[in-house]
Amino acid sequence: MEEMMLKPEKDNSDLTGAIDKILDKGLVINADITVDVAGVELLGIKIRAALASFETAAKYGLEFPSGTNLDTASWKEAMKEKEKCPQCGKRVDREELLNFECPWCGWESAKAKQRKMKASLKVGVQ
């Protein structure tokens, strides 16, 4: 009888993938710690922590530290709506991905292909 051996599978995820997922989805930690002696609460600590990218935090309505300058070019870029490229999986500005192509891998949406075809037809007619 042939024995069936289970072989460990390599997990292709890495630290950068895990960090990217945490920043994309966000991580919230809530903890209540109390120290009681003979039924009397001597110490109470409430911890509320959130770990997320600014983009994710803004999406869920989390408050930013006072003094955060929301008028910078970087902040405005982060607030643009982004989508994952179906080919490479990188997050790209939604308008750029739908109307042109992915700057990382060159994937084109049907709308972008149609736009290129119309442009080449116009050039051919003139």
pLDDT, tens digit, 9 for 90 and up, residues 36-68: 888 888 888 988 888 887 777 777 777 777 887
How many whole angstroms separate alpha carbon 54 and alpha carbon 23? 9
Calpha distance 118→101 (Å, rounded): 16
In this prediction, residue 122 carries a pLDDT of 74
Q: For the chain, how long is the longest CA-to-CA vector?
A: 92
Q: What pLDDT shows up at residue 5? A: 61
Per-residue pLDDT of the chain (126 residues; tens, 9 = 90+): 455 565 555 555 688 888 888 877 888 888 888 888 888 888 889 888 888 877 777 777 777 778 878 788 877 877 788 888 999 988 888 889 888 999 989 999 999 899 888 888 876 655
Distance between CA atoms of 98 and 50, rounded to whole angstroms?
32
pLDDT value, residue 125: 58
